[in-house]
Amino acid sequence: MITGGAGFIGSHLVRLMVNKYPEYKIVCVDALTYAGNLENLRDVESAPNYVFEHADVCDFGAMERIMRSHAVDGIIHLAAESHVDRSISDPLAFVRTNVEGVMSLLQAARRVWNGAFDGKRFLNVSTDEVFGALPADRPDLKFSESTPYAPHSPYSASKASADHFVRSFFDTYGLPTVISNCSNNYGPYQFPEKLIPLVINNIRHGKPLPVYGEGLNVRDWLYVGDHVRALDLIFHQADPGSTYCIGGDCERRNIDIVRSLIAVTDRLLGNSEGHSLPLITYVADRAGHDMRYAIDSSKLQHDLGWKPVVGFEDGLERTVRWYLDNQQWLDRITSGDYREYYRRHYGSDC
């Protein structure tokens, strides 16, 4: 059972699992919030080993029913409110989905599996943001599995809280849980509220490219395909109670990401070099903006033989191409709730 399977990372994971494991039944559970989109799964929706359940993870009764009716023996939990800026304007929604949601799933798993934990697995897909922020001038420092939790945003605090509950279910009830903490993902099907698809979408419309503060904050970028390959390995091979950090070893300043996107997008659109550079617009900084994230994924590399295979330049080119080839997907998404959110957050239409 994969929760949040109609979202960005979830849809890549569902696709990988459905294609790689024809003998499994993959149950995708999603509430289809503004971020969930069944179009992301169109290519697998008629696969014989795929089932979709439209349900809210906070609905304990529904989770228990779905687990029993499909004899679920493994859960990969991705359903979440995932955007930091939304968590700043509406923190309670994050407590509900990210904290109550994981509690409802943990309880359902505990009840349905009823102590028969052999062959069962609960993987909680978490974020590197639970570790707080690193200084920009200490490249030697990275987050690892032993870094203490120090979240700053309501989003990261809700994810940290979820991780604590997950660990408590392992320690208290022996539920076979595993946690993964990943850095920033990018790739096809990412909702265009996040930096990379937002910038691509705005370049194509000739709209301002909002850069928070001075654009010097650093993120560690990982192509989404590499993330879901790591989740597959962790789900199948990690020891119960363990934690894995996942990262791309690819630190970039936001302003450099925006400049790279301009270079690739302008080239693919046939614009002259530097055509969209004047669109860069420095805007008010995000409240509590974490300076830098960086992940040391050596445990995952050493224990499970994982390493990222898509280099950043290649991944960015693939990503921009995908968005330009799928402009209808973008157009359908950038309506409704998104338009309203964009106006509120950036003070102008998108």
> CA 280 to CA 282: how far, in whole Å?
7
| DSSP 8-state class, residue 178 | E
- Given candidates 30, 85, 220, 290, which one binds ligand NAD under the rule CB under 6 A? 30
Q: Is 262 in the site for ligand DAU (CB under 6 A)?
A: no
Question: Which of ligand NAD, ligand DAU, none binds 125 (CB below 5-8 Å, type-dependent)?
Answer: ligand NAD
Contacts 24+ apart (CB under 8 A), 171-177: 171/241, 173/110, 174/115, 174/117, 174/240, 175/106, 175/109, 175/110, 175/113, 175/117, 175/122, 176/117, 176/120, 176/121, 176/122, 176/240, 176/241, 177/106, 177/122, 177/123, 177/124, 177/240, 177/241
Per-residue interface string for the shown chain with ligand DAU, residues 308-347, x marking contact by CB under 6 A = ----------------------------------------
10 vs 151, beta carbon nearer ligand NAD:
10
**Residue (66 or 182) nearer to ligand NAD, CB:** 182
- Between β-strands 251-253 and 218-223, what pairing exists: parallel, antiparallel or unpaired? antiparallel
Site for ligand NAD contains 154 (CB under 6 A): no
Instruction: Point out which residues pair with 52 in neighbouring strands.
Output: 28
Q: Which is nearer to ligand DAU, 110 or 318 (CB)?
A: 318
Residue with smaller CB distance to ligand DAU, 235 or 342: 342
- Which partner in ligand NAD, ligand DAU, none is near 4 (CB below 5 to 8 A by kind)? ligand NAD
Out of 122, 293, 312, 323, name the contact with ligand DAU by CB under 6 A.
293
- Which residues inside 33-52 make contact with ligand NAD, applying CB under 6 A? 33, 35-36
Residue 236: how many other CB atoms lie within 10 Å: 12
Q: What is the distance between the alpha carbons of residues 265 and 267, in angstroms, rounded to a whole number? A: 5
Q: What does the alpha-carbon distance between residue 96 and residue 186 come to, in Å, rounded to a whole number?
A: 26
Q: Is the alpha carbon torsion for 284, 290, 292, 298 positive or negative?
A: negative
- Distance from the Cα of residue 308 to its chain's centroid: 16
Point out the residue whose Cβ comes nearest to ligand DAU: 127
Q: Of the candidates 10, 154, 197, 315, which one interacts with ligand NAD according to CB under 6 A? A: 10
Active-site annotation, residues: 128-129, 155
What minimum distance in Å lies between the beta carbon of 152 and ligand NAD? 15
Residue ranges of alpha helices (H) inside the chain are 8-20, 60-69, 84-89, 91-94, 101-113, 154-173, 195-205, 224-237, 254-269, 298-304, 312-325, 327-333, 337-346
Residue 175 beta carbon to ligand NAD: minimum distance, rounded to whole angstroms = 19
**Binding residues for ligand DAU restricted to 146-205, rule: CB under 6 A:** 183-184, 194-195, 198
Phi-psi region of 283 (alpha: psi -120 to 50; beta: other; left: phi over 0): beta
Q: Tell me: does residue 84 bind ligand DAU (CB under 6 A).
A: yes
Find the shortest distance in angstroms from Cβ 166 to ligand NAD. 12
Q: Which stretches of the chain bind ligand NAD, using CB under 6 A?
A: 3-4, 6-10, 30-33, 35-36, 56-58, 78-80, 82, 97, 101, 125, 127, 159, 182, 184-185, 191
Q: Which stretches of the chain bind ligand DAU, using CB under 6 A?
A: 82-84, 127-129, 183-184, 194-195, 198, 210-212, 217, 219, 254, 286, 293
